Structure 1
């Protein structure tokens, strides 16, 4: 059975929205406001995660966003991400843009449960906040991997929405990245 992993970049106050400033939230880029040492350490963690993953699970907008940024790239990380299987949750498209993809529509919880049963490895979710909320609300998440950025925005969509329900987590790893980032790994505690 596959393990569903949420992998997110978050601010200290839990915002995941508009990390590059392109959505116009008004805070500019918080993702790039780190040192070269931070970025190098983050890249190593992300590359290792991609190399260990069996597949990606994404929302439609995230699939589009990543396709515009990764399809033209080459190198070990890009080759891995571009070539791995992707499952894109959408009710409006027939084909994912990033490639090597399958569209999942209908009952997301039911379809993702089936997908977890079919896979043996890690199924990683990047960004895709509405999808993340659905997965959390349906107890489908096995692990959270959060890279925390040293900034407080005060507004923006947060990883844990207000409409969610209680979820108990157990910290399994803390890893400083560079000078100012920290990578936290939590496992979900079922039926807590």
Structure 2
């Protein structure tokens, strides 16, 4: 399986608490719900497409518990996201969560070395192992070079505070944008798909002037 990270992100890279004031108030975050004013018609259209590519979901404990509380209440059979999260294979990363406490459809608790556990999951056949939200987990997997694809919906808002997708100290890497779309609705929301091209270096170069003309060294 390939590993993808799928998330909403602000212009300044914040991914914390996009859907509600109390969605994730950790670390004193008070700006939750920043996505909602921009979530008009067409702004979240790519999400169903994300879920159609999934074979299983990989979540951090906080995101798992938040999603379980919300999505277990959605029983509409036509809601693909609810159907997927309520019934498909899920893995939750936690050294403290018991199997009983993790009860939500088909869920397995991953304990111990998460990087090695995920490496083994990626060796299994199938489509995608998808991470949604799960800020700390996403960062750990990025720094280990395990993320094959990022799918982002970026909203034209500067939150100014909160957990960022690529905070200071993230491992350097290069990605290719394989899909890009300005979503309908006129709000300037952008959907991006990025594939890892090189891990461990962003690359470097230098602009120089030769014979009076700008060139790349």
Fold match (TM-score > 0.5)? yes
Q: How many Å separate the matches in 1 of 2:158 and 2:103? A: 33
Worse-superposed segment, 132-141 or 152-161: 152-161
1:14–1:158 contact (8 Å) kept in structure 2: yes
Change (3 A) 1:105 1:188: same
Q: CA offset at residue 54 of structure 1? A: 0.3
Alignment of 1:108-187 (within 5 A): 108-178=114-184, 179-180=186-187, 181-187=189-195
Q: How many Å separate the matches in 1 of 2:31 and 2:73? A: 28
Deviations 1:86-135 (A, max 9, x none): 01111111222433111111111111000010141111100000000000
Unaligned runs of at least 5 residues, structure 2: 202-217
Q: Secondary structure at the match of 1:36?
A: coil
Q: CA offset at residue 52 of structure 1? A: 2.1
Q: How many Å separate the matches in 2 of 1:47 and 1:66? A: 16
Question: Which 4+ runs in 1 deviate beyond 4 A?
Answer: none
Q: 1:102 aligns with which of 98, 108, 113?
A: 108
Query: In proportion to residue count, which structure has more helix?
Result: 1
Q: Which residue of 2 aligns with 1:90?
A: 94
Q: CA offset at residue 47 of structure 1? A: 1.3
Q: CA offset at residue 73 of structure 1? A: 0.8
1:67–1:97 contact (8 Å) kept in structure 2: no
Q: Which residue of 1 aligns with 2:215?
A: none
Q: TM-score under structure 1 normalisation?
A: 0.92
Q: Which residue of 2 aligns with 1:5?
A: 4
Alignment of 1:46-85 (within 5 A): 46-74=47-75, 75-76=77-78, 77=80, 78-85=82-89
Q: CA offset at residue 81 of structure 1? A: 2.2
Worse-superposed segment, 62-71 or 163-172: 163-172
Relative contact order, higher structure (CA 8 A, sep 6+): 1
Aligned residue-pair number = 188
Q: TM-score under structure 2 normalisation?
A: 0.82
RMSD (Å) for aligned C-alpha atoms: 1.5
Q: How many Å separate the matches in 2 of 1:119 and 1:87? A: 16
Q: Which residue of 2 aligns with 1:21?
A: 21
Q: How many Å separate the matches in 1 of 2:145 and 2:193? A: 17
- Which has the greater radius of gyration? 2
Unaligned runs of at least 5 residues, structure 1: none
